[in-house]
Amino acid sequence: MELNLNKDLIHTCNNNSQFNSGNILEKEALETYNRFDEIFSRDGLTDKQITFLEDRKLKYKELIEEAYNNMLSNRAKFVPWNVSGRANYPADKMSGIADRNMEKSIEWSGKINRFIENTIKMLDELTPIDIILEDYRNGKWKYGEKISSDDPYAIEKLNAKLEYLEKYHIDMKASNRKARSEGRQAPFPPYMLTNNLATIKSVKKRIEELAAPKEIEGFLFLGGEVVANYEVDRLQIFFDEKPDEEVRKELKSNGFRWAPSQGAWQRKLNTNALYSARKLFEEINKEV
């Protein structure tokens, strides 16, 4: 796809340099734009994620065009002495322009990188929870990644992680026994077993802390009410009118299920459920 870059500025930059700086910036802009598809593969994504990426790609294109048109404009103001000649060359002025160009280039680079980082984060948030949990059960999480206590699926993720760690521990011990019975060196040294046990203990402790009962209060929102129902151990959402399809989809994606006997949307009562409800109505509506 061709970027909408100012051809006049590209031509001016080329004329003001001995190495066609305008063409170089144009090529760099296209390479930077193409990074988006290199970073974000569509394989295995949901329709919602793909639609999100296509929308972000359009915004990314606009950002790249704005950034590089700005850099071209700044670069067009700089003329090196070996192009203009030494006579009456405004060295201080050109040095100042060069410094400002470098500062703006670094600033734009930061904006572009933050756009990519935010897109990665937002795309992860659109990943269905069942896929995320399956990844945890298979040990597929980023090194050093922490599960926030504010995460509405924190307990589910920790349980899935614990499931993997416990299975991994059993597999390591079995591999060591088999190796010793065959007269071979155990593939997993003691420190690996010790470290894994320590991680298992830490994960169990976090699950206990998050699952501990806490006083939870409901709240009103425009069009309904969130209620902490301790008798049935559920956080319940009551609407004044039947919510539309989009709201129902959001409720389901946040773990809430319709309970005809209660006349409410509900999920197990805990702080994660309350966090999900508050986040849901911040996005869909406004609290009273």
The per-residue pLDDT for range 179-190, each reduced to its tens digit, is 999 999 999 999
Match 């071979």 to its residue by tokens.
184
Q: Please, what is the angle between helix 154-181 and helix 190-211, to 10°?
A: 160
Res. 81: pLDDT tops 70? no
pLDDT band at 275 (very low <50, low <70, confident <90, very high): confident
Residues facing 205 on adjacent strands:
none
Over residues 219-225, the mean pLDDT reads 90
Which two three-digit tokens encode residue 211? 């699952």
Strand positions, DSSP E, the chain: 219-221, 224-229, 234-239, 257-259, 264-268
Q: Among 26-35, 73-82, 108-117, 271-280, name the one with the lowest average pLDDT.
A: 73-82
Q: How far is CA 66 from the centre of its chain?
A: 24
More confident position, 263 or 89: 263
Strand order in the sheet with 264-268: 219-221, 224-229, 234-239, 264-268, 257-259
Which two three-digit tokens encode residue 201? 């203990």
Selection from 214, 218, 210, 211 nearest residue 277 by Cα: 218
pLDDT band at 82 (very low <50, low <70, confident <90, very high): low
Over residues 7-33, the mean pLDDT reads 90
pTM of the shown model = 0.57
| Paired sense of beta strands 234-239 and 264-268, if any | antiparallel
Q: What is the largest CA-CA distance in the chain?
A: 90
Over residues 128-132, the mean pLDDT reads 87
Integer Cα distance of 120 and 205 in angstroms: 30
